Amino acid sequence: MNKQELIKKVAEDAGLTQKQAGAALESTLAAIKAAVADGDKVQLIGFGTFDSKKREARQGRNPRTGETVKIEAAVLPVFKAGKAFEEIVNKK
């Protein structure tokens, strides 16, 4: 399912126009992105948690040349599925 298909499904299920559903989805995604970028955790009970995780700088190797390279520290977005979501996925 891509974004446009998701918007169509949300519009059908919620009795909205596709334009309204698209705006609601965009607003929801923007709020999640902004919160995680600010270091906050977004927890949706029954679905999952969006958070960020710090990854320390480390040494790596270029697989082609074997040369040692420095990998910079980074903050990465992470998602942990909630128990109810995992149960639904595992039933199929």
| Contact between residue 79 and residue 49 where contact means Cβ atoms under 8 Å apart | yes
Is the domain of 34 the same as that of 13? yes
3-state secondary structure of 29: helix
Are 35 and 45 contained in the same domain?
no
Q: Mark whether 57 and 14 lie in a shared domain.
A: no
**Rg from Cα positions in the chain:** 19
**CATH code of 68's domain:** 4.10.520.10
Q: Could you read off the pLDDT of 45-58 as tens digits, one per residue?
A: 999 999 999 999 99
Tally of domains in the chain? 2
φ/ψ of 23, rounded to 5, equals -65, -40
CA distance 27 to 69: 39
pLDDT digits (tens, 9 = 90+) for 54-87: 999 999 999 999 999 999 999 999 999 999 999 9
Q: What is the pTM of this model?
A: 0.81
Q: Are residues 91 and 52 in the same domain?
A: yes
The range of the structural domain enclosing residue 86 comes to 41-92
Query: In terms of domains, do 50 and 92 share one?
Result: yes
User: Helices (H), strands (E): how many in the chain?
Assistant: 3, 5
Q: Do 35 and 56 belong to one domain?
A: no
